[in-house]
Structure 1
C-alpha cells in the first residue's frame, strides 16, 4: 500500500508543484472569497424570486454546494436544480444526487481536516481516517434523516443509505482527501494553503463522484432527487 501511495505521489508531483504556489497566494483565496459571496447572492436571489417551490432541504443543499464551489456550484444549480429546467434527465438527476451527497460530505470533510490536521496535528494517516469518518457520517446522516422524517423505518433507512450512498461517498472522499493531503499535508491551520487546498479538493471530489452517481441513478439504485420542475407544478396546484 505504501508503495502504491508513493507511486501516486510521484505521478501527481508535477501538478502539486504547479498548484501549490498559486494556492498559497493570499490574493487568490481573497478573490475566491469575493466570487463565492457573489455566487451565493445570485443563488439566494434566484431562490427567493423564482424558486420558492424548492423544499427547505434542497435550498440548504444548494447553499452548501455554492459555498464549497462558488460559481461551479452555482452552475450545477442552474443546470439541474431550478424549477425552470426544460426537461429532466439521468445526467441532471445525477448532478442533484451528487450535490446532495456533496453537501453533507463536504461539511464532514471540513470538520475532519480542521480538527485532525489543523487543531490536533495528527499524522497523515490519522488525518485521512478521521476526515473520511466525519465525511461519511455527515453524508450518511443527510440521507437517513430525511428518510426517517418521511416515515421510513430506521433500519430500512440505514440499509438503504448504506448501499445507495457508500459508493459515491467513498469515491468522493478518496479523491478529495487525497488531493488535500497531497497539496497541504504539511500546512498549518494559519496557512493560506491549508484552506485553499481544502477548497480545491472539495470540487475535485464532486467531479469524481458525479459519474458514480449517474451510474447509480441509471441502474435504479438511487432516485437522483425529485425533478424541481414538478415541484413548481405542485406548488402552483
Structure 2
C-alpha cells in the first residue's frame, strides 16, 4: 500500500512538475518563478487525482477535498522538496531548454529521488491509519456510480505512470536526436568553412 500510495502521489506531482517546468522554460521565467509554478501545479494535479476517485464514490466535493488534504499534503510536500532540490543541484538542469537531454535526464533523476523520499513518509502514515489509509476507507465502501458520477474519469495509476514514462522518454529521445543533428550541422559547417580558407589548387 505504501508503494501504491507513493506512486499515486508521484503521478500527480510528475504531471504538475513536468508541465510547470516546461511552461516556465518555454516562456523564459526565472528559476525561482519556474519552481513556484511547478510546485503549484504539482499540488493541484496531485490533489485532483486523489479527489476524482472519491467523488466517484459519491462523496461531496468539500468532504473529498478535506480527506485529500489530510491524506496527501505531507507526501506531496516531501516529493516537491526533494524533486526541486535535485533539479536545482544538477548542473544546467533548470536552465536547459526543453530540447535538451539534461532537462529530461534531470527530471527522471529528480522524480526517482522524490519517490524514494516519499515512500517512508507514506509507510509511516499508513502504519498509523493516516495518509492514504483515509482515502482507502472510502474506496472500500464505494457504491456503483450513477448520475454525474458516471462522467468522472477513472484514472488508473499504472496507466498514468506508463503515460508519463513514455512522455519523458519521448522527450529524451527527441532531445538527443536534436543534439546529434546540431553536432552534424556544426561539423559540416566547420568543414565547409575550412575548405573555403584553403588556397585553390
TM range (shorter): 0.5 to 0.7
Counterpart pick for 2:11 among 95, 103, 128: 103
Relative to 1, partners in 2 of residues 1:138 and 1:105: Cα closer, same or farther, differing over 3 Å? same
Deviation at 1:120, TM superposition (A): 1.3
SS in 1 for 2:133: coil
Deviation at 1:225, TM superposition (A): 7.7
Deviation at 1:209, TM superposition (A): 0.6
Structure 1: 4+ residue segments shifted above 2 A? none
2-structure distance, mates of 1:96, 1:192:
29
Q: Which runs of 5+ in 1 are unaligned?
A: 1-92, 227-237
2-structure distance, mates of 1:168, 1:160:
14
Alignment RMSD (CA, Å): 1.7
With the length of structure 2 as denominator, give the TM-score of the two structures.
Answer: 0.63
Larger radius of gyration: 2
Deviation at 1:181, TM superposition (A): 2.4
**Is contact 2:82-2:117 (8 Å) kept?**
yes
2-structure distance, mates of 1:178, 1:156:
33
What residue is the counterpart of 1:160 in the other structure?
67
Determine whether 1:189 maps to 2:98.
yes
1-structure distance, mates of 2:81, 2:28:
20
With the length of structure 1 as denominator, give the TM-score of the two structures.
Answer: 0.54
Aligned length: 134
Q: Which runs of 5+ in 2 are unaligned?
A: 137-201
